[in-house]
Chain A
Amino acid sequence: MSAKLEIQWTPIPNKFITWGSEIGLYEIVSLRDGSIPTIKLSNTTGANLLSTNSTHHYVKCIDIYPKSDSDLLLAIGQGNGRVTLLTFGPSQFDSLSLPGKEFVPRHPRQCNAVAWNPIENNLIAAGLDKYRSDHSVLLWDIMKCPIAPDMNGTGKLVVNTMASGLELARPVAEFGISEMTHSLAWFKTNSKLISVGMNLKNIKLVDFRDPNKSVNSTLTKAVYGLCMNPHNDKHLASFIDNQVCVWDTRNFEKPIVTLSHGKPVIKIGWCPTRHNLLASLQRDSSVINLYDIQHTVVGTEEVEPSVLERVIVPGSPHNITSFSWHASDENRLLAIALSGSVTDYTVFDRITLNWAPNSNIVWTYGRRTMKCVNDNSSIYGTLQDISHRIKQRAVMGYGLKDEFWKNAELVDDEMVANVWKWLHLSNKLVEEGILRGYNSRHPGVRSVLKVDGNVNKSDVVSISWSELGNINCHSSARIYRHEDRDKALHLCGWHFERDANSLTKFLERLQREHAFSRAAAIAVFNLKIKLALEILNQASENFSQGASLNVVAMALAGFSDDKNSMWKQLCSTARAQLVDPYLRAMFAFLTAENYSYENVLNEEGMTVDDRVAFACMFLSDNKLHEYLKSLTNELIEEGNLDGFLLTGNSGDGIRLLQRYLDATGDIQTTAIIGVKVFPGEVFANSVKEWVISYRNLLDTWQLWNQRALFDIMFSSYRPSDKPPQQVYVSCNFCGKSISAYMQGLNRGRGPFSRMGGTANKLKMSSCPNCRKPLPRCAICLMHMGTTTGIPTNDDGDNRLAEFSHWFTWCQSCRHGGHASHMIHWFKEHSECPVTPCTCKCFSVDSLGNEVCT
């Protein structure tokens, strides 16, 4: 009895058999259905045992009737050479009396292989061991066989005695006298042809209509496990010991490739769903080797075959004894281990993957299918791909607004919005003359304070706390003043230094925005503790989210600067537990000793503006410069655009933008700020790179309008970088440029100047040089230069420059006319308006794509 366990899929897609000492029939069930199968095959599948059959003890090989669609008919090759037909229970084959039928060789010896003919399904080939004067390949016809004597269908053995009166079945064909057959394989397309591995020395291709001479043969020891490539009848594979050979029957002398293995091979099999994929299994191994074998003949030349090897581990750590490919499910196989455990495994093919320029991700899904995710899918939004956001912002017109603050409204990113607001502020301050003489529209705090130059002496003003109405206090707050500091405070938005009214307004705005703690903290930083108390109390009374603030107000009310006071000690310890950064900073300020405010300055929850403004008020010159330097470097390093407040549009600003770009990939904001804020003469090169990159993006997305508007914006900031003219309109006849005259005309020179200074009176319908007419519009047949004839509302629209009057033409067929006529025409037509022309101009034009969508 063989301990070897074999496994095989049946032609019924969800059933398989295992066989060793007994034959078991299993049905695959999905675990998703909630059923609990007898055995688990994978994370998603299990199997239930349907039936077992243990009547045959010397099973050597099995093949299953290929046309079994509801019932299974097995051909079992046994140790005594008999081939028995077997079914599991009652079946459609009962009426044909097939179950239990036996095909008996004249002389008993081991049956090594059985194989149903894939086309003439009634034929079974059996390959047997050698017997002196008998054939070793017998071809049986199941329909030409005496009825088994026992009709119970239990597969009772037929006693084989030549003397019995029973008529024994005779093979339809036989060959291989005194030879030994190791393995058999039918050709898939030629039902008469079979390949046979014989005598440990050759593979023969035999046409059984003339079995005595082989069609083709090769000398090789690799005679085991013959199998035919299911997709290519010319390729077959076989193995011996550690070697697997792949043969091309057209050139049978030597194998195409020989695959060497570390251990003896015990089974090979072509994948039925993939071309040229051969699997092999070695003894005592828990892996299956896969070989993707490419072999092509180009013309008469044979291309050197290539083999891609891959190793799969079907899960079980135990030694695999057999496997079976599923006939139709892509790359699916079953593997059975020595322990009897079965694994359902799918070999995943290489997934090719590409990220398309329009934000699609495309990948292969199985053999035939492609999957793609595009930027319309909700899933794409969750990726937060910056390019996707850039595209959305570009469509909204982000960056094209002349007023900086309007751009802020178009971004959903707070940091970017703040930059635009600051740019607006700094620009306004320069325009109002508050900041003067910096040779820049957006000077940063550092250049305002001249941090990199000499240290300016600031005045120190001491204000006693008790004078401000804090009776528990004896010391005083020390404030540094200088006109540069005032300017810096303006840049921070703290322009209320000497003006109580503007402070109140500022705080009221903060309160309206429900930023109570910030308002209170700023009030405290401006030494208005009473005001802070009011803010906190109001917040706790009127707004639910400020409810806890009255406790804070209570604490604040007890402010005392006595070093040993209970208040100070308590506040110092309780401060760390405060969640709100502004409240933390507020108490840090009040409990600070020796005028060292590290806890305020390094409070990262505060906005950079507030921290810088605080520093400008309370730090001595040296400390201030030091602080600003380190803060600038920190912010640049982080690519935090808040750092713009410090750098302004200096070289550091460019570095900051570059860091921001490196960190976020937001080329759009970078390029636009680069163009709008940094003067072209100084920073041309780096900005130019950004501009090119951003333009390429817009091109890829076919956002031509946005790109054109961006270019216009760009040239308005960089008049010297104006792109050269790219389109020239020249006369068909004399070849002279017409646009040159048009340009000259605007300047009041040239031959047409006498026609009047204003362009809207101009009707130029012939070449100004040779007086030949200009081309006609394909629709109205009027010459170029005339108006469209469609009356427009008012005179102002009637200019020649109006786009609808413009002459436009197809880039591929060169026909054209007035733009408005063309657009009108292509609303109802797909082909060019010129009669014999079949050009689909509009679908060629990308504008057509946009109009269609």
Chain B
Amino acid sequence: MVSILNTIDTGHEDMIHDAEVDYYGLRLATCSSDNSIKIYDIKNGAHMLLEDLKGHFGPVWQIAWGHPKFGNLLASCSYDRKVIIWKEQQGKWSKYYEYANHDSSVNSVQFAPPAYGLILACGSSDGCISVLTYQSETNTWEAKKIQNAHAIGCNAISWSPSITPEPAFDNHQPQTLTKRLVSGGCDNLVKIWREDGDRWVEESKLEVHSDWVRDVAWAPSIGLSRHIIASCSQDRRVIIWTSEDCQTWNSSVMHTFDDVVWNVSWSLNGNILAVSGGDNKVTLWKQNLEGNWQCISDVVKGQGQISGDQRAL
């Protein structure tokens, strides 16, 4: 069962909080409570340590890769209230930009879809969300802050996919892109934010969870006609939110688990949802033609399971 899984010993000295694979799937970055970020080459099943980035003074909660069209960028956020953007130049990683304008631990970072430009969103325990936009003319980062996005703190953010024509094909009708973010926080809420001129406004407030929202994930849109968001919470539930127009959102409880649900992540085409929970399981869920969500990793149990990985002690 284990042989078909790749195992990577990260060498981190404390708990790993996040692991992200870059756009092309060639490199893996991990971050940990030991304050460090590590980058591995995982091409062809190898795992070679390329870089060990030290620059944070607290546990590093989350990392995010930038789109390769902006160069090799990696953003990280930490308990030390800082957001650092790292850049690779000539094979060496160095600090590219540091943002230290949060009053508390920064819990989540994510780069916006490349069509919007080079933009990073950060969610913090001080309840605010920052949106950092790179201005190529001045080579600076401009920060906008959403104050009091979530009482007690924001735990997770996720960008809406950009559904936009490429400029090369759209010569006659320039469309303005509407940037949207979803965030989840300690106030048990999931909120949708929309950029309106130079401000970010709260577009929807989704109230179903009964405990801290741990993670939110806006499904990648591959030409789909609707928006889908998955959120998970300490209330042990995963909720799927769908909307045609981003105005009205319908919620359905995908599943109630036996324990806290930590993370949700969509497959590339947004049709399979991976869920990790406090029961130490990773399960995969897919919507069947009737619209119900089914655990498909249980279906394939006989052939080698992904779920039910009891930690080898």
Is the C-beta of B210 less than 8 angstroms from some C-beta in chain A?
no
Sorted nearest first, the 10 A-B pairs with minimum C-beta distance are: A358-B25, A356-B21, A351-B276, A348-B280, A665-B271, A665-B269, A382-B300, A353-B276, A296-B58, A387-B268
How far does the Cβ of A584 sit from chain B's closest Cβ, in whole Å?
Answer: 24
A383-B296, A383-B297, A665-B269 as given contacts; A377 in contact with B5, CB under 8 Å: yes
Does any Cβ of A come within 8 Å of B9's Cβ?
yes
Given the interface pairs A274-B14, A304-B104, A373-B306, the reply to whether A348 lies near B222 with Cβ below 8 Å is no
Q: In the complex, which residues of chain B have a beta carbon less than 8 angstroms from the beta carbon of A358? A: 21, 24-25
Nearest-neighbor residue (CB-CB) of B226 within chain A: A662
Known interface pairs A354-B21, A379-B300, A385-B269; A330-B5 also in contact (CB < 8 Å): no
Q: Which chain B residues border A694 with CB–CB below 8 Å? A: 222-223
Partner of B9, one of A368, A376, A724, A853: A368
Is B272's CB within 8 Å of the partner chain A? yes
Contacts of A370 in B (CB 8 A): 7-8, 10, 16, 19, 28, 30
On whether A360 and B21 interact (CB within 8 A), knowing A377-B4, A723-B168, the answer reads yes
Residue A374 lies at the interface, judged by CB distance under 8 Å to chain B: yes
- Whether B8 lies near A298 (C-beta < 8 A) is no
* A832 smallest CB distance to B (angstroms): 13
Q: Does A357 contact B (CB under 8 A)?
A: yes
Q: How far is the CB of A553 from chain B (nearest CB, A)?
A: 37
Q: How far, in angstroms, from A704 to B146 measured CA to CA in the complex?
A: 40
* Alpha-carbon distance A633/B64, docked complex (angstroms): 44
CB distance from B50 to the nearest CB of A (A): 13
Q: Which of chain B's residues have a CB closer than 8 A to the CB of A724?
A: 168
The chain B residue sitting closest to A348, CB to CB, is B280
Chain A interface, >50% SS class: mixed
Q: Taking the complex as formed, is B253 at the interface, i.e. its CB lies under 8 A from any CB of chain A?
A: no
Which residue from A303, A363, A385 sits with its C-beta under 8 Å from B79? A303
Q: Check: A364 CB closer than 8 A to any chain B CB.
A: yes
The answer to whether B45 has its CB under 8 Å from any CB of chain A is yes
B57 interfacial by beta-carbon distance below 8 Å: yes
Chain A nearest Cβ from B12, distance in angstroms = 5
Check if A573 is an interface residue, CB within 8 A of chain B: no
Instruction: Report which residue of A350, A379, A662 has the largest number of chain B beta carbons within 10 angstroms of its beta carbon.
Output: A350
B169 touches A723 (CB 8 A): yes
Are A354 and B19 in touch, CB under 8 angstroms? Answer: yes
Size bracket of the A interface: 35 or more
- The residues of B that contact A667 with a CB separation of less than 8 Å are 222-223, 269
Residue of B nearest to A329 (CB): B313
Q: Which of A417-425, A522-530, A684-692 contacts B (4 or more CB under 8 A)?
A: A684-692
Instruction: Provide the residues of chain A in CB contact with B185, threshold 8 Å.
Output: none
Q: What are 25 A-B residue pairs whose CB atoms fall within 8 Å in the complex? A: A294-B105, A296-B57, A303-B80, A303-B104, A310-B260, A330-B313, A350-B15, A350-B17, A351-B263, A354-B19, A356-B20, A361-B274, A365-B7, A371-B5, A372-B28, A373-B306, A378-B4, A385-B269, A387-B267, A667-B223, A671-B223, A685-B165, A688-B170, A694-B223, A723-B168
Give the residues in chain A near B277, CB-CB below 8 Å: 351
Q: Which of B8, B21, B278 contacts A348 (CB 8 A)?
A: B278
Assess whether B165 is in contact with A367, with CB atoms less than 8 Å apart. no
- By beta carbon, the residue of chain B nearest A355 is B265
Chain B nearest CB from A786 CB (Å) reads 33
Does B33 touch A at the CB level, under 8 Å?
Answer: yes
A685 and B30 alpha carbons, distance in the complex (Å): 40
Residues of B within 8 A of A662 (CB): 224-226
A390 and B306 CA atoms in complex are apart in Å by 22
Determine the chain A residues whose CB is within 8 A of the CB of B296 once the complex forms.
383-384
Q: In the complex the two chains form, is A368's CB within 8 Å of B12's CB?
A: yes
Query: Digit string of A255-291 for contact with B (CB within 8 Å is 1, else 0)?
Result: 0000000000000000000111000000000000000
Rounded to whole angstroms, the CA-CA distance of A242 and B310 in the bound complex is: 35
Q: Nearest residue in A to B291 (C-beta to C-beta)?
A: A663
Smallest CB-CB separation from B47: which chain A residue? A370
CB closest chain-B residue, reference A638? B289
CA distance A367 to B28 in the complex (A): 16
Q: How many residues of B contact A (CB 8 A)?
A: 87
Contacts of A378 in B (CB 8 A): 4, 303-304
Determine if B80 and A298 form an interchain contact, defined as CB atoms under 8 angstroms apart: yes
Interchain CB contact under 8 A, B282 and A353: yes
Known pairs A667-B222, A692-B165; A332 contacts B313 (CB<8 A): yes
CA distance A292 to B163 in the complex (A): 40
CA distance in complex: A671, B18 (Å)? 34
Contact with A along B300-313 (1 / 0, CB 8 A): 10011110011111
Interfacial chain A residues near B265, Cβ < 8 Å: 353-355, 361
Q: How far is the CA of A331 from the CA of B277 in the complex (A)?
A: 16
- With contacts A298-B58, A386-B269 taken as known, whether A352 is within 8 angstroms of B19 at the C-beta atoms is yes
- Residues of chain A from 765 to 820 with CB closer than 8 A to chain B in the complex: none
A658 within 8 A of B: yes
Tell me the chain B residues, 98-133 only, with Cβ under 8 Å from chain A: 104-105, 125
Query: Is B97's CB within 8 Å of the partner chain A?
Result: no
The contact string, 1 if C-beta is below 8 Å from chain B, for chain A 657-700, is 01001111101001100000000000001001110111001001
Q: In the assembled complex, how far is the CB of residue A56 from the closest CB belonging to chain B, in whole angstroms?
A: 32
Closest to A671 in B: B223
CB distance from A623 to the nearest CB of B (A): 29
Assembled-state Cα–Cα distance A390/B270 (Å)? 13
- Complexed CA–CA distance, A2 and B7 (Å): 48
Tell whether, in the assembled complex, residue B262 and residue A665 are in contact, meaning their CB atoms are under 8 Å apart. Answer: no
Also in contact, A294 and B10, with CB within 8 A (given A361-B282, A692-B165)? no
Given A368-B12, A372-B6, residue A357 in contact with residue B304 (CB < 8 A): no
Can you name the residue of chain A whose Cβ is closest to the Cβ of B115? A692
Residues of A within 8 A of B300 (CB): 379, 382-383
Interface hub of B25, B224, B280 (most chain A Cβ within 10 A): B25
How far apart sit A441 and B7, CA to CA, in the bound complex (Å)?
Answer: 53
Bound: A276/B263 CA distance, A: 22
A638→B290 CA distance, assembly (Å):
10
B94 on the A face (CB < 8 A): no
- Cβ contact within 8 Å between A363 and B81: no
Query: Min CB distance, A65 to chain B, in Å?
Result: 25
A382–B14 alpha-carbon span in the complex (Å): 34
Query: Does B266 lie within 8 Å of A330, measured CB to CB?
Result: no
Contacts of A764 in B (CB 8 A): none
> Which one of B10, B169, B221, B263 contacts A721 once the chains associate, using CB atoms below 8 Å?
B169
**Residues A663 and B289 in contact, CB atoms below 8 Å apart:** yes
**A-B contact sample (5 more), CB < 8 A, given A354-B263, A367-B12:** A303-B58, A358-B21, A685-B165, A688-B165, A694-B223
- Are B262 and A351 interface neighbours, CB within 8 A? yes
Nearest CB on B from A343, distance (A): 15
Report the minimum CB–CB distance from A596 to chain B (whole Å): 30
B59 within 8 Å of A by Cβ?
A: yes
Q: Does B275 make an interface contact (CB < 8 A)? A: yes
Interfacial chain B residues near A379, Cβ < 8 Å: 4-5, 300, 303-306
Q: Which residues of B contact A372 (CB under 8 A)?
A: 5-6, 8, 28, 42
Let me know if B11 is at the binding interface, CB within 8 A: yes
CB distance from B264 to the nearest CB of A (A): 8
Contacts of A544 in B (CB 8 A): none
* A664→B8 CA distance, assembly (Å): 33
Cβ-defined contact, A306 with B104, below 8 A: yes
A639's nearest neighbour on chain B, judged by CB, is: B289
- A369 to B7, Cβ gap below 8 A? yes
On chain A, the residues within 8 Å of B125 by CB distance are 306
Closest chain B residue, CB of each to CB of A691: B169
Residues on the B chain within 8 Å of A692, using CB: 164-166
Whether B23 sits at the interface, judged by CB under 8 Å, is yes
Which residues of chain B have C-beta atoms less than 8 A from A671's C-beta?
A: 223
Q: A294-B105, A371-B5 are in contact. Are A352 and B18 (CB under 8 A)?
A: yes
Contacts A294-B59, A658-B225: A362 and B28 contacting too (C-beta < 8 A)?
yes
Contact B21 A362 (CB under 8 A): yes
Tell me the minimal C-beta distance from B272 to chain A in angstroms: 6
Partner of B15, one of A349, A373, A665, A853: A349
Complex Cα spacing A665 to B219, Å: 12
Cα–Cα distance between A853 and B25 once the two chains are bound (Å): 15
